[in-house]
Amino acid sequence: MPMTIQLPFLSICPRIEADDDTLAASTHWLIPLVSLGLVFRRVQVDLAAQSVTLTVRRFWFRSQRRSFAFRHITAVTYGYEDAYPGASFLPSHDSLDIFVVGLRLANQEEVALLRFFGDDTFGNDGPLPDCWYWGEFEADFTGTQERESRLFAQLLSKMLGVPIDPPSLSA
């Protein structure tokens, strides 16, 4: 049985803060640092105002703010992608997870809010037996991105009073 060790520093997850009336989440500090401030996202859920506000900054001068009233939100979307280069071609690899939490609006538009990125466990879907990859299976390290993204989606769903759905194929 492989041993999976979960390490928070293997994830790049948004910073989440909550109190009785608000939930706020913003891009992990590493992303603006590496991009020299080019990319930044902030989501704020305000129970008193019954709204979700998404602020996106691309480049240093271009900032966009969108607000969504709770009554126009039909679901929280929660999806997964394997970002490992060549994942669709390689049957065995150590996956790189991206979990995306977003909103589905009443007009069926889907808005991505936040991405949770990190290292995941080694997977073998190839013809060789697992013992061939013993080094990868012996002690596999993974980040906390799946747990943190799921908790954020569940909290957002409860605050908005809507279900969690997978994103549509066109999103």
* Domain assignment present for 134: yes
**Residue ranges of E strands in 59-91:** 62-69, 73-82
Model confidence, pTM: 0.74
More confident residue, 131 or 171: 131
* Domain assignment present for 130: yes
Domain enclosing residue 74, as ranges:
3-164
* Domain assignment present for 170: no
Structural domains of the chain, count: 1
* Domain assignment present for 169: no
- Computed over every residue of the chain, the mean pLDDT equals 78
pLDDT given for residue 65 in this prediction: 93
Tens-place pLDDT, residues 131-165: 655 555 555 566 777 888 899 999 999 999 999 99
* Domain assignment present for 171: no
pLDDT value at 1 more than 50: no
Tens-place pLDDT, residues 48-83: 999 999 999 887 778 899 999 999 999 999 998 876
Angle at 120 between CA 117 and CA 123, to 5 degrees: 140
pLDDT given for residue 12 in this prediction: 73
